[in-house]
């Protein structure tokens, strides 16, 4: 999904995708070509991206209408992933949250793991909605403001 999202931002070559992922996590991780190019081939086979050869013999990947549709359907998951990547970049840069916030986060993880309700599709949507709302409020410029 991340590679599809990056290509959805603008057409990119494989190397550009590797560097973009590395940048998103503040240099803490750089995917290998051996992990990126098979995913690009899969996305092409699924009709979500298309690659065109350029003069430099490198393939330029662009998103298709099918890819845009998938991005729309997977938006909450992608936003969650991007949020975790931003947190990872901050953490790797020595910006761990205050202990009280860290402890509340650990409690949230436990509450999710021990959720007394069955994990039906509705329950998954409910819990994801609660968490995504909290993420949006945390990332907002001002408390109580939800980014659009």
Q: What is the pLDDT of residue 90?
A: 75
Q: What per-residue confidence (pLDDT) applies to 5?
A: 95
Distance CA 125, CA 136 (A): 16
Other CB atoms closer than 10 Å to residue 147's CB: what's the count?
Answer: 9
pLDDT tens string for the chain (148 positions)? 999 999 999 999 999 999 999 888 877 778 899 999 999 999 999 999 999 887 777 899 999 999 999 999 999 899 888 888 888 777 776 666 777 887 898 889 889 989 888 999 999 999 999 999 998 888 886 655 555 4
Tokens 């994990």 belong to residue: 119
- pTM of model > 0.85: no
Q: Please give the CATH number for the structural domain made up of 2-72.
A: 1.10.10.10
Taking a C-beta distance cutoff of 8 angstroms, is the pair 104, 97 a contact?
no
The domains of the chain are located at 2-72, 97-148
């Amino acid at each position: 999904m991340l590679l599809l999202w990056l290509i959805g931002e603008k057409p990119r070559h494989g190397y550009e995708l590797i560097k973009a992922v590395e940048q998103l996590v503040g240099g803490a991780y750089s995917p290998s070509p051996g992990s990126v190019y098979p995913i690009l081939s899969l996305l092409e086979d699924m009709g979500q991206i298309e690659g065109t050869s350029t003069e430099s013999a490198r393939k330029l990947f662009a998103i298709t209408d099918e890819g845009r549709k998938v991005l729309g359907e997977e938006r909450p998951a992608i936003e969650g992933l991007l949020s975790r990547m931003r947190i990872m970049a901050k953490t790797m840069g020595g910006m761990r949250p205050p202990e009280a916030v860290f402890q509340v986060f650990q409690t949230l993880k436990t509450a999710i793991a021990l959720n007394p309700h069955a994990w039906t599709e509705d329950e998954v949507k409910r819990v994801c909605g609660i968490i995504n709302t909290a993420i949006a409020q945390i990332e907002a410029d001002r408390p109580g403001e939800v980014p659009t």
